[in-house]
Chains A and B, each alone.
Chain A
Amino acid sequence: MARMTMIEAIRDALDVAMGADPTVVVFGEDVGYFGGVFRCTAGLQAKYGKTRCFDTPINESGIVGAGIGMAAYGLKPVVEIQFADYVYPAYDQIVSEAARLRYRSAGQFTCPMVVRMPTGGGIFGGQTHSQSPEALFTHVTGLKTVVPSNPRDAKGLLLSAIEDPDPVIFLEPKRLYNGPFDGHHDRPVTAWKTHELGEVPEGHYTVPLGRAVVRRQGQAATILTYGTMVHVALAAAAESGVDAEVIDLRTLLPLDMETVAASVSKTGRCLVLHEATLTSGYGAELAALVQAECFWHLEAPIRRVAGWDTPYPHTHEWSYFPGPARVAEALRQLVEVA
């Protein structure tokens, strides 16, 4: 075991995959020589050569489209979109092509590709370096969508994603690249290297897609969340004094409904938390599923806490995304419902 940052864990996963499987290729903007603007691919070109890890032109539609062609040939492309905010030009290739290749060719062509991208806010990135577009992907059939919340999961989930026979959208909360984040911008940041979840097993291991994990046990309410907000949920649970259970979903699709239902059935109260804008967000899907599966156990209406329905602002990001105070307040209200 070594303690590492999420950046290092992602790099380690890519290294393990490339070392074991010569069909794994890694590319994207600034990914080759420099190793990516967040350095997730640093050293891979030197180690595996420039036809297995290379820089691409700035063309997201091209990156994904070329990846699809390579996957159809038999390679396993792991492509990087520099920021999730820049995936929109590639959206047609992802939605109309990657997601449906297997279906529309009756299984003759498949797309075992991973599309990695840094997502989320909290770094003063303004509206084009902060978005959380997961709902745009979970709405598309044929895709799997993953959001890790710590280095250990990031490596294990990425290896699962690379080994998966279908296209996987891998969203990396960039606020967590270097350490966990409890949503308090005025508190010192803990480094993953001093944090238990920074402990990453060596070599190959996987964290299966479609399995959630309980990060905090509790009896009074369940918080369903993922990515950066897992840490905010933990902070909010502690601050609120509410005995809340925190579930880290890890994969949004496929969703581990079993773990979710077991927890909500136990606590009888459910708060759905995400950083992305509220309306038609992934939280709406969670709320609908929970109400269908756990209706007779629910003691209060399901609550959603999310980013406001505005573009992500630069200066006001602390007011924009759900911080621990907002989540704690919602938790208290949730348990007050008689």
Chain B
Amino acid sequence: MPDPDALPPLSLTVPEPEVRPGGQPDFSHVAIPRAGTVRRPPVDADPEEIRDLAFTIIRVMNREGEAVGPWAEALDFTPEDLLEGLRHMMTLRIYDARMLNAQRQQKTSFYMQHLGEEAISCGFQRALAPGDMNFPTYRQAGLLIAAGYPLSAMMNQVFSNAEDPMRGRQLPVCYSSREHGFFTISGNLATQYIQAVGWAMASAISGDRKISAAWIGDGSTAESDFHAALVFASTYKAPVVLNVVNNQWAISTFQGIARGGSGTFAARGLGFGIPSLRVDGNDYLAVMAVAKWAAERARRNLGPTMIEYVTYRAGGHSTSDDPSAYRPAEESTAWPLGDPVLRLKNHLIRLGVWSDERHAQAEAEILAEITAAQKRAEAIGTLHHGQHPSPVDMFEDVYAEMPPHLLKQRHEAGF
């Protein structure tokens, strides 16, 4: 053993992002393979033999808007399916813009948008079947939109009006719809990740055919619940897809703080023997292709899959956030994987089933549809105006049956 006193004193490493406000955004260190170059293994591949997929980025659409490579070939979607996918993404984007604006007008207390991340939730939902269950975070409203959940219901919740399906109890973006495979969102990060695994285990225990999908952000993978989920998923080979959305930022904290500068988020699954893939999260086709691969593994009882979506949170963390305080304003435009909506649009134009004119027209249609829904929702009420759920609702659903002490409090409150 070397004499400890002969060594220089220790010093602490605190990871830092490459640039801060005022600096020049630089993503040259993000290694991005050409579209179509990453192999597609069979779904029952030995996890040991596909370890490399946790370190690369699976991409399908190239710069020209063509779908190329083995993952593209395995896609069995029609152009109509893709047009529908584009519509989901455009809807989410326009919905976000309207709700963000509504927050600025104090019609709601708070909002969180998905700008730049639309392909992930909208694309993934296409791999699920009715009865499957997502355990989402606040940044996957696209799962609801792609599952056909009514926009008006979402808005009623955002405005906390009398028709709010959560009856004024949840934050505006913490939606919930059992029917649409959308587990109720918790504000406490990562708690849902292990619950998704439990749900999948229950499906297996019951001899069912349903699978679940767990969702988490890059920052939240640091939570102990994330690691608990990996332990349970790998131990019991639960039929679950373990999604990690790496949008580079957790509020002001860059992804390296959760990861420590080593490996990738996908690589976290490898220590547990879980097949783990990294995918271009701004590539709708790649998202769908990988989601289908993972869902098939789960359905064929081959166990969990971990997927890291590489993307960028182009907007603020929430309406309470000011990203210009911690990252260069131009960083989102420097992000090398492009805009997911534009990329699918270009692909569809390339296929000959879409055009700039039709895109502009669709945008106008969706905007009109959303504006109309918003008018209806606002006519019922917004945070400070109109009709709200009754405060008596506050006392219900605490227990299946209201216990005497709560009943007493309800009377005391005047209800």
Contacts and interface: CB of A to CB of B under 8 A. Distances in A.
A313 B169 contact: yes
Contacts of A88: 188
A37 B14 contact: no
A259 to B, nearest CB: 30
B391 A319 contact: yes
Most A Cβ at <10 Å: residue of B220, B253, B413: B253
A126 B258 contact: no
Nearest to A125: B171
B394 A30 contact: no
A315 B171 CA distance: 8
A320 B414 CA distance: 12
B388 interface: yes
10 contacts: A29-B251, A33-B326, A34-B253, A51-B14, A58-B223, A127-B169, A127-B187, A309-B398, A315-B169, A315-B383
B268 interface: no
B251 A37 contact: yes
A311 B388 contact: no
A59 B223 contact: yes
Looking at chain B's contact residues, the main secondary structure is loop
Contacts of B12: 51
B168 A50 contact: no
B222 interface: yes
A226 interface: no
A170 interface: no
Contacts of B174: 126
Closest 10 CB pairs of A and B: A128-B187, A315-B168, A57-B222, A34-B252, A124-B109, A126-B171, A319-B391, A315-B160, A59-B222, A316-B391
B186 A308 contact: no
A260 B231 CA distance: 51
Contacts, number: 124
A313 B252 contact: no
B264 interface: no
A124 B320 CA distance: 12
B41 to A, nearest CB: 31
Interface string A51-77: 100111111111000000000000000
A316 B167 CA distance: 10
Contact of B405 (A30, A50, A61, A279): A279
Contacts of B223: 58-60, 89
A34 B413 contact: no
Given A308-B395, A316-B168, 4 more contacts: A32-B14, A51-B12, A58-B219, A309-B405
B251 A89 contact: no
A206 to B, nearest CB: 30
Contact of B406 (A34, A85, A309): A309
A59 B221 CA distance: 9
Interface of A: 29-30, 32-34, 37, 50-51, 54-62, 85-86, 88-89, 124-129, 278-279, 308-311, 313-316, 319-320
B329 to A, nearest CB: 15
Contacts of B405: 279, 309
**Interface magnitude class on chain B:** 35 or more
Nearest to A49: B14
Given A57-B222, A85-B188, A310 B171 contact: no
Contacts of A61: 224
Interface string B30-41: 000000000000
Contact of B258 (A58, A86, A315): A58
B189 A58 contact: yes
B394 A308 contact: yes
Contact of A56 (B164, B252, B257): B257
B110 interface: yes
> Is chain A's binding surface mostly helix, strand, loop or mixed?
loop
Contact of A311 (B169, B220, B391): B169
Contact of A310 (B320, B321, B383, B398): B398
Contacts of B189: 58, 86
B388 A315 contact: yes
A89 B253 contact: no
A128 B394 contact: no
A320 B409 CA distance: 11
Nearest to B185: A128
A61 B223 CA distance: 8
B11 interface: yes
Contact of B224 (A37, A89, A126): A89
A319 B413 CA distance: 8
A50 B219 CA distance: 19
A55 B259 CA distance: 13
B170 interface: yes
A113 to B, nearest CB: 18
A323 to B, nearest CB: 11
Given A56-B257, A315-B383, A62 B222 contact: yes
B187 A85 contact: yes
Contacts of B250: 29, 58
B70 interface: no
Contacts of B222: 57-59, 62
A314 B171 contact: yes
Contacts of A85: 187-188
Nearest to A45: B14
Given A126-B174, A126-B187, A310-B395, A34 B326 contact: yes
Question: B164, B171, B186, B220 — which one has the most chain A CB atoms within 10 A of its CB?
Answer: B171
B336 interface: no
B389 interface: yes
Determine which residue in A29, A37, A50, A57 has the highest number of CB atoms from chain B within 10 A of its CB, and name it: A57
